[in-house]
Structure 1
Amino acid sequence: MTRLFKVYISLSIIFVLNGCGKSFLDLAPISNANQSNFYQTIEDFELAVNAAYATLYTFYGPTSAVSYFAEQLSDNATLYNVAGIQSDRWAFKDYNLKPSNTEVYRFWQECYKALYNVNIVLDKIGSAELNETYKTEVIAQMRFLRGLYYFNMVQMWGDIPLVSRPISVEESYATLRSPESEVYAFVVEDLTYAAANLPEPAAITLAGKASKYAALTLLGKVYLALNQKDKAAESLLQVYGKFSLMPRYEALWGANVKNTAESIFEIQYQGGSPNLPFSRYWREYAPTENFVLTLYGGGMNQVTDDLYGEFEEGDPRREQTVSLGYTNKEGTFIPIKFQNKWVDKEAPAPAGEELSNNNFMVLRYADVLLMLAEATDDPRYLNEVRARVNLPLYGSDAYPSSQYNSLALAIEHERRVELALEFHRFFDLKRTDRAVAVVSKTKPIKNENQTVLPIPQIVIQQNPAITQNPAYQGL
């Protein structure tokens, strides 16, 4: 039995310990009678920590809030036919979101359930009679996850209820939306602690756990979102040189490619069995029209012509990122663009669902280099990324400066093609105040108010003191 399999079985035990309670946040699971006796030993906390990390499978899943927000709201991705309630999914690409959207409510629930799993560990570890060094590392791991989650959530919803411990149903009604500034300050505090107390990568024995460099990378990203470039550079320069780009871009991808020299924080999957945490990116991002690529394509995040056209001629990243179509069983080529990064055509499918093996990189070194270029206004970091794919360097005569006539636009272009479909694009455009100007060329976004999601209608119905974001008031 592999260690990952043992961990996965352990997660099922922890999830049994946490049932669901009823509150407007839907985040306060009511424990069974054994919980008071559970959080005592290192073994108990290892189960709880693994359960908290397992929420990454949902939070960063192929049909997660982060996927919809970062890609479907951007100019990178579109939808044709999809499974589920099509109108609620199409609303993202059509900028026709309403508070009653069932996907938005699902995202809200998933986010706060994930936070509960983190907060319960933090709540219990403080009073546990355990080695202080162990307790500090557990706290650092959980504060990294909490910082990661709240950073995504504050960008997706703006002001949000800020919950730092497990709360009762009664307490949840008094927990209203905190201003963005308070949420960001909380994120910075969590990630600063994590960066100071997480181990070096070499000291991590279980793949998928965060290191100090993961925390520093994320902290740099947060500071960029706050337009604090000096602090961003300070964080990111501590990561610079600790990782390296893979010699070939193509070497980053493949069902059996795991934790390369470029990977800073990566979600671990193990395909092949329905009892293991198998990956669903391949199936969900295959077009629904096909019955050749996968047994059942989900149709999510289909590639736009606009994204395909962004790649320069001769850029190997285009072919690695985008498939131009497929040939059906009748021998007819179907010209529909879809992703080519998470492919697992050999995945077994004993019950009609591909049990794929692809990991998902949340943070990687190319992202660090491009953020450093943004934070320092120094193109040498940008050029490291371009040199890997043998494209003309920024500042050279051969660089396409007529299209990208400033360093800011060059970085925007490079981030789009380097990190395409990896859940960065709309976050990037929001950070640089370019979302409306860029996305309005291909999708009907009207103003900045639409760069956040609605607060779910049921949340406000359960607690009328919760306010709605301006774009969705009266809908």
Structure 2
Amino acid sequence: MRIKNIFTYTLLTVLLLSATSCADEFLDLFPEDKITSANFPQNESDIKLLLNGAYAHLRENSIYNEGLFGFGVLDGATPNAFNWGNTPIAKTGNGQLSANDGDIVTFRWTRCYGIIFRANYLLESIKKVELNTEAKLLYEGEAHFLRGLAYSLLADSYGGVPIIESSLTTEEARTIARATLADTWSQAIADYDEAIQNLPSDAPEVGRATKGAALGLKMRALLYQGKYQEVLTVVDQIDALGKYSLFPSYEGLFRLENENNEEVLFDVQYISGENSQGSLHDQYCGTGTGSWTRGSRYVPTDDLVNAYETIDGSPVDPDNKYENRDPRLKFTVVTPGSFILGYQFPNYIYPGGAFNHPGNRFKHLSSRKYRIEPEASLPVSGQSSLNNIVMRYADVLLAKAEAIIETGGNIDEAVALINRVRTERDDVKITALPMGLSVEVAREKLRHERRIEFALEGLYWSDIRRWKIGADIYPVEIKDHTGGLIETKFPNGYLDYYDLLPIPNSEISLNENLVQNPGW
């Protein structure tokens, strides 16, 4: 299916409205068996249909989908993971990306604007339908939440972008200029504030946005801007809801039976079935079954594995390097010696039957987070019903810790928050950090903890760019199970302009006022 950009959506809307206007003038007749702007929307059911259409865009790759492949360019664009092949996703992670590439470069832009278009259309449609006050506020809150989410992703990825709050004419769409980065973030925050004001603490249906979800994504938007004092204010508002806490099991966080638990502020809902409403996590990022249709094409790296501490703080045993490690390692990465519940094979010890994609030279590690287990429960390929967590309470705790450190607050208080993540779960208990750390050491520990806690969840790419540490961590060598070099990520070093994606050249060709990001 060819993906159309926001300008195409707008043009179709204009043409549809023009056709309706002609019907008004000449015939005053409307087809009753088709949806047109003359007969849609008419009632709350139609409004909900529009709302569902806006939520559906969250399942698109390059928004929140396909694990390492699509969740925010994800860890495949960082030292945490390796993407085999010459795709734009892989290029993003190794320094070969160009403004002419598709995939993440183009799709994130067009699909975020698809969400914005649908949210704007929803807000306009709500005014045309008779709704009670409670329903009106709810739908408006969700529309603003989704629009804020889209502008946040655009600001984080591209910098300042065109701000669109209503339908545009074709000429307007071809001439609108980019807003500043500050104004783009301000638009996202304004949308989140509207959502926070209108949304209840509990959604009428699982998966729809809540006050906590809007607060959580506002917190992240402020964190990415370095507005730490405001982060602390929002964290207090989240805690005041009294809804969220760490789930007792880190491993269980990413299991079907524990979806929508007390740690989740917002996630993208998936269901398996015939209508392609499932996720591709298990196909692209799960351990393989010996078939080309299954198996990790996007895999965790030795660089990530080496970052995990030992449980007791002792040196890693080079002869048993996967033992006595932070339990989150084996909950996140399938390592040699991992026990797998069999699917096409009897129960086995990896790598006696678990395979990465045949085209992937990287054979000795695979991803476990978001993996369906046992393998006998694997859905039809590409139809995983396991939800994708966008925001969870561990992020709130670590955002607060970071904000305290960066605002000159009580470092021991920040360390205590980090230690909650290291010790509070039933299945993750590693040596607590000591009190009395300097600001510099506390910052280093906080950044390390974020990398480990959210490994393969797609946050590290944004963290690297906002912390401006790309030049410090690259180049990174990717070696296969024999020690042979597969590739070097950013072999000539990381360049500052990689902190933003390029504006797609396909979009610039439509609008000369879309100035390209420097360096691209």
What range is the shorter-chain TM-score in? 0.7 to 0.9
1:69 aligns with 73
Distance 1:222 1:159 in 2: 14
**2:519 alignment partner, SS class:** helix
Aligned to 1:292: 290
8 Å CA contact retained: 1:26, 1:109: no
Distance in 1 (CA, whole Å) between partners of 2:256 and 2:134 is 36
CA distance in 1, matches of 2:143, 2:68: 21
Displacement of 1:65 in angstroms is 8.4
Using the TM superposition, give the Cα deviation of residue 262 of structure 1 relative to its aligned residue in structure 2, in angstroms: 0.7
2:442 and 2:170 map into 1 onto residues whose CA distance is 50
Residue 388 (structure 2) pairs with residue 360 (structure 1): yes
Counterpart of 1:43? 45
1:347 shift after superposition: 4.4
Question: Which amino acid letter does the alignment assign opposite residue 305 of structure 1?
Answer: D
The amino acid that maps onto 1:46 is K
Distance 2:401 2:179 in 1: 32
Aligned residues between the structures = 438
Cα 1:52–1:393 change in 2 (3 A) is: same
Paired residue secondary structure (2:399): helix
Residue 275 of structure 1: how far off its partner (Å): 2.4
Residue 113 of structure 2 is aligned to residue 78 of structure 1: no
> Residues 312 and 338 of structure 1: is their aligned pair in 2 closer, same or farther, counting only changes over 3 Å?
same
Taking the aligned partners of 1:51 and 1:185, their CA distance within structure 2 comes to 25
TM-score when normalising by structure 2: 0.78
SS of the residue corresponding to residue 163 of structure 1 reads: coil
Q: Is 1:324 aligned to 2:324, yes or no?
A: no
**Are 1:308 and 2:338 matched, yes or no?**
no
**Residue 250 to residue 296, structure 1, CA distance change in 2 (3 Å):** closer
Contact 2:247 2:262 in 1 (8 A): yes
Q: Answer with 320-329 or 150-159: which moved more.
A: 320-329
Secondary structure in structure 2 of the residue aligned to 1:252: helix
| Cα 1:116/1:297, change in 2 over 3 Å | farther
Equivalent position of 1:10 in the other structure: none
CA-to-aligned-CA distance 1:286-317 (integer Å, 9 cap, x gap): 47xx55277333613x1111111111123111
Q: Distance in 2 between matches of 1:45 and 1:208?
A: 17
- Structure 2: unaligned runs, 5 residues or longer: 21-35, 311-324, 337-349, 406-413, 478-488
Aligned counterparts of 1:65 and 1:148: Cα–Cα separation in 2:
19
Letter in 2 for 1:76: N
User: Counterpart amino acid of 1:449?
Assistant: Y
Measure how far apart 1:136 and its partner are: 1.5
Equivalent residue, structure 1, for 2:223: 224
Tell me if structure 1 keeps the 8 A contact 2:280–2:383. yes
With over 3 angstroms needed to count, the CA separation of the structure-2 counterparts of 1:234 and 1:293, relative to structure 1, is farther
Q: 1:36 to 1:433 in 2, by over 3 A?
A: farther
Do 2:471 and 2:495's aligned partners in 1 also have CA atoms closer than 8 Å? yes
Out of 369, 374, 388, the residue aligned to residue 341 of structure 1 is 369
Q: TM-score, normalised by structure 1?
A: 0.85
Report which stretch shifted further, 339-348 or 461-470: 339-348
Of residues 460-469 and 330-339 in structure 1, the stretch that sits farther from structure 2 once superposed is 330-339
Indicate conservation of the 8 Å contact 2:283/2:294, yes or no: yes
Q: Which residue of 1 aligns with 2:461?
A: 426
- Kept in 2: contact 1:66–1:152 (CA 8 A): no
CA offset digits 1:11-32 (Å, max 9, x no partner): xxxxxxxx98777x44426255
Shift of the 354–449 alpha-carbon distance from structure 1 to 2, 3 Å rule, reads closer
- 1:394 is aligned, of 428, 433, 438, to 433
Residues of 1 paired with 2:446 and 2:472: CA distance? 16
Asked whether 1:283 is paired with 2:319, we answer: no
Shift, 1:396, TM fit: 5.3
Structure 1 unaligned blocks of 5 or more:
1-18
Give the counterpart letter for 2:309 in structure 1. Answer: E
Cα distance change on mapping 1:29 and 1:246 into 2, 3 Å = farther
Aligned amino acid, residue 306 of structure 2: G
User: 1 CA distance for matches of 2:79 and 2:278?
Assistant: 29
CA distance in structure 2 between the aligned counterparts of 1:330 and 1:256, rounded to whole angstroms:
24
Residue 373 of structure 1 is aligned with which of 401, 405, 415?
401
Inter-partner Cα distance in structure 1 for 2:270 and 2:53: 14
User: Is 1:382 matched up with 2:418?
Assistant: yes
1:410 to 445, 451, 460: 445
Secondary structure (helix, strand or coil) at the match of 2:256 reads coil
Moved more, 246-255 or 259-268: 246-255
Root-mean-square deviation (CA), in Å?
Answer: 2.9
**Quick check: 2:422–2:431 contact (8 Å CA) kept in 1?**
yes
1:155 and 1:427 in contact (8 A); partners too:
yes
Structure 1 counterpart of 2:302, one-letter code: D
Residue 4 of structure 1 aligns with which residue? none
Contact kept? 1:99, 1:455, Cα under 8 Å: yes
Q: 1:116 to 1:42 in 2, by over 3 A?
A: same
Mapped contact 1:455–1:468 kept (Cα < 8 A): yes
Kept in 1: contact 2:67–2:456 (CA 8 A): no
Residues 67-99 of structure 1 show CA distances to partners (whole Å, capped at 9, x for unaligned) of: 353323222111124xxxx34343222211111
Taking the aligned partners of 2:199 and 2:293, their CA distance within structure 1 comes to 42
Secondary structure of the corresponding residue to residue 266 of structure 1: strand
In the alignment, residue 346 of structure 1 is paired with which amino acid?
A: A
Percent same amino acid at aligned positions?
27
Contact 1:73 1:95 (C-alpha < 8 Å) held by counterparts: no
* Per-residue CA distance 1:8-58 (angstroms, 9 max, x = gap): xxxxxxxxxxx98777x4442625561332123111101111111111111
Query: Secondary structure of the equivalent of 1:363?
Result: strand
Q: Aligned partners of 1:376, 1:292: CA distance in 2, in Å?
A: 48
